[in-house]
Amino acid sequence: MKKSIFMVALLLGAATTSFAQKANLDNPFSLEGVMNFAGGGVTWEAPNVRARYFVNDNIAVRASIGLGDGLGTPRSESYNFSDTSGAMAGTRDISRLAWNASIGAEYHLEGTERMSPYFGLGINFGGGSYNETWRDSDGTAWVPGLDADVDYSQSMFGLQLGAGLDIYLIDNLYCGFELGLGFASYTYGDVTTEVTTPAGSTTTVDYGGTDSYIGTGAGSASVRFGWRF
């Protein structure tokens, strides 16, 4: 917590003592990363990277791409199980892939010499896959002769309407805050499970579905850092 307070104080101090000015069309591109505030302090993560291009002083187009589900879920996991002699005899392996992307535009208001407030609109989309394999295990312990494979996929489409603020700390370097109202629709593919036992093989299919959400988004607990060039 002390680290978080110190970082916020440092940012505010830089913003109030700096002589930086907003960049202009001589620097139409910007590239951003994200710093998240965690319970124990400040942690750097890379959920996505966003690029912007300023068409004029007020209008910018933007695009972002990221990997992972944003929840810190590992991309892969492996577990080993022992037989009655203590030797490794069974396994459970999990692999995941998740990606997200967005395209959109921003309208920047007049602001001040160092602050650039804006409204933004974005179209979000993404996808992912999941695979789990058991070999001589039931996923929790050694079971000789039991194998299984589980596969499914999902996709996402959404819209985001938000407002943000860029604060230029030094020339071309800025931090930004953004909060928005978004809609997201998820489509889940069929879950196919193939199980093989000494007695034979079976395949089951759990049919997928859809769900949707409306809520706030775009990092109320995060800070964007960007560079215009």
pLDDT digits (tens, 9 = 90+) for 154-211: 999 999 888 889 999 988 899 888 888 888 899 999 999 999 998 889 999 999 999 9
For residue 17, give the DSSP letter: H
Here the tokens at position 119 are 């409204």
Residue among 101, 103, 108 at smallest CA distance from 168: 108
For residue 39, give the 3-state DSSP assignment: coil
- pLDDT of res. 24: 76
Q: Please check whether residue 222 is in contact with residue 187, taking contact to mean a CB–CB distance below 8 angstroms.
A: no
User: What type of residue is 129?
Assistant: S
Beta bridge partners of 173: 170, 227
Average pLDDT over residues 55-78: 82
pLDDT for 71 = 59
199 CB burial (10 A radius; 0-12, 13-18, 19+): exposed
Number of residues assigned to the chain: 229
Residue 142 near residue 158 (C-beta atoms within 8 A): no
**Residue listed under structure tokens 């978080």:** 4
Question: Into how many domains does the chain fold?
Answer: 1
Residues with Cβ within 8 Å of residue 138, at least 6 apart in sequence:
146, 148
Give Cβ neighbours of residue 192 (< 8 Å, ≥ 6 apart): 149, 150, 151, 152, 203, 204, 205
> Under a CB-based contact definition with an 8 Å cutoff, are residues 118 and 163 in contact?
yes
The better pLDDT of the pair 65, 147 is held by 147
User: Is 80 exceeded by the pLDDT of residue 134?
Assistant: yes
The boundaries of the domain holding residue 84 are 2-228
